[in-house]
């Protein structure tokens, strides 16, 4: 992880373009401070798996979904930018229909972002997400998964259950993630998770919506 100071917005924008063809490089920008990092395998494994669980949850609960992947979230006026490990539009998925480029001046921020911290970032990532208006963050640090929701005061509050999926707690998903880390077949873990979600749904059957 490399941190640079005194970086203006124009330089940050140029670096984003320069690294656009290298998806393994992530940039975080906070009012002149720039962090450059290369995610590790464990980082990508965990973020991708949590993203798969989001897909299962939206499918089983009949919720709309628009995946954002590691799309760059940035606002020039806020002088902040970040690339989420995974992000999703759920409540606002319909507003992203047909959108190929994200512009937070007119588009809604993702409803949910996943942040996996294995490199011990020196920048306050939650504060950056808050400035960009992301309603919910799932943050994984080692073996600890926490859910954070944005309050009216503009700061995050840790909560036991997800805002996007009120039936799901951080403990639920952490247990599934820990199983997946030890499993030789992640598909089997996901199938078991899907069956559990389906069992807890009213009627116990897949959503038809």
Q: What is the pLDDT of residues 126-175, one digit of tens each?
A: 999 999 999 999 999 989 999 999 999 999 999 999 999 999 999 999 99
Give a yes or no: residue 21 inside a domain: no
Residue 28 counted as domain residue: no
pLDDT recorded at residue 96: 96
Query: Does pLDDT of 205 surpass 60?
Result: no
Please check whether residue 74 lies inside any domain of the structure.
yes
- Domain with 54 in it: 41-200
In a domain, 7, yes or no: no
- Does some domain include residue 3? no
Torsion 11-17-18-22 (CA) sign: positive
The pair of three-digit structure tokens given for residue 46, joined into one six-digit string: 């965990």
pLDDT at position 50 over 90: yes
Tell me if 79 is assigned to some domain.
yes
Is 137 within a domain?
yes
Across residues 171-181, what is the average pLDDT?
96
For residue 171, the domain's CATH number is 3.90.1570
Residue 51 lies in a domain: yes
Query: Across residues 77-91, what is the average pLDDT?
Result: 96
**Domain count of the fold of the chain:** 1
* Residue 138 and residue 145 in contact, taking contact as beta carbons nearer than 8 Å: yes
pTM of the predicted protein model: 0.91
Q: What tokens appear for 201 in the block?
A: 């749904």
């Amino acid at each position: 992880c490399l941190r640079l100071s005194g970086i203006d917005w124009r330089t940050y924008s140029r670096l984003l373009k320069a690294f656009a063809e290298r998806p393994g490089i992530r940039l975080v920008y906070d009012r002149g401070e720039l962090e450059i990092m290369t995610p590790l395998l464990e980082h990508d494994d965990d973020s991708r798996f949590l993203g798969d669980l989001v897909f299962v949850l939206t499918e089983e609960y009949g919720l709309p979904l628009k995946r954002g992947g590691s799309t760059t979230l940035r606002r020039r006026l806020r002088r902040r930018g970040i690339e989420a490990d995974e992000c999703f539009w759920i409540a606002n998925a319909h507003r992203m229909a047909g959108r190929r480029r994200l512009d937070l001046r007119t588009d809604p921020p993702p409803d949910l972002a996943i942040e996996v911290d294995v490199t011990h970032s020196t920048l306050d990532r939650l504060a950056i997400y808050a400035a960009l208006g992301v309603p919910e963050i799932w943050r994984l640090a080692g073996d600890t998964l926490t859910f954070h929701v944005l309050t009216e005061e503009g700061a995050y509050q840790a909560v036991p259950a997800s805002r996007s999926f009120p039936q799901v707690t951080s403990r639920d998903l952490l247990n599934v993630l820990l199983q997946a880390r030890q499993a030789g077949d992640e598909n089997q873990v996901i199938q078991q998770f899907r069956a559990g979600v389906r069992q807890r749904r009213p009627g116990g059957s897949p959503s038809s919506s």
